[in-house]
């Protein structure tokens, strides 16, 4: 009894291989195209938006400069303030660039900063209209855009990564 061995035609098996490799390459191309054309996440506080920065600078001059200084440098005694972080530097000299856009917005809007799960009152009241203040959300975002114009390129990039990574929930007002 002899066993009959059949051989596959080499042309057919190579054709299947090329079709399979082509399908894989097409999948990679489609995924790459989608990733490359996906809109980038954008901040609501854009330092490259001149109109927004100008609004932020005007808002800063009218509402913040008395405590945070002419060039956002803060008060010299800001670190020793026991009750609040009065007049902290908002420029590259300070630490605000370590915070996400949402944290900055919430701190200005509500007057409360949430850090490591703890809330700390940093202003007597929030500046946003929703917290009884006089600034619109648009003006608060404009302030943050203005702050960013004083940061180094490295700080801006680091802060952008933090903003995209964190996305914290809005801060709850602290108890009085």
DSSP state of 113: E
pTM of the model: 0.67
Query: What tens digit of pLDDT does each residue of 52-83 get?
Result: 999 999 999 999 998 888 888 887 765 555 45
Token pair belonging to 128: 């946003």
pLDDT of residue 41: 54
Counting beta carbons within 10 angstroms of the beta carbon of residue 103, is it exposed (0 to 12), middle (13 to 18) or buried (19 or more)? buried
List the chain domain ranges: 50-166
What class is the 50-166 domain?
mainly alpha
Query: What tens digit of pLDDT does each residue of 76-119 get?
Result: 765 555 455 567 889 998 888 999 999 899 999 998 888 778 88
- Number of H helices and E strands in the chain, helices first, is 6, 2
């Amino acid at each position: 009894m002899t066993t009959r061995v059949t051989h596959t035609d080499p042309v057919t098996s190579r054709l299947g291989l090329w079709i399979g490799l082509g399908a894989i390459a097409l999948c990679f191309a489609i995924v790459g195209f989608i990733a490359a054309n996906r809109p980038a996440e954008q901040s609501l506080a854009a330092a490259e938006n001149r109109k927004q920065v100008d609004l932020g600078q005007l808002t800063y001059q009218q509402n913040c400069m008395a405590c945070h200084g002419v060039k956002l440098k803060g008060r010299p005694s800001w670190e020793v303030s026991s009750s609040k972080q009065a007049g902290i530097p908002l420029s590259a000299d300070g630490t605000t660039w370590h915070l996400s856009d949402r944290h900055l917005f919430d701190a200005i809007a509500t007057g409360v900063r949430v850090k490591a799960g703890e809330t700390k009152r940093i202003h007597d009241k929030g500046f946003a209209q929703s917290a009884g203040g006089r600034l619109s959300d648009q003006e608060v975002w404009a302030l943050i855009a203005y702050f960013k114009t004083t940061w180094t390129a490295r700080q801006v990039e680091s802060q952008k990564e933090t903003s995209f990574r964190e996305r914290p929930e809005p801060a709850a007002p602290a108890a009085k």
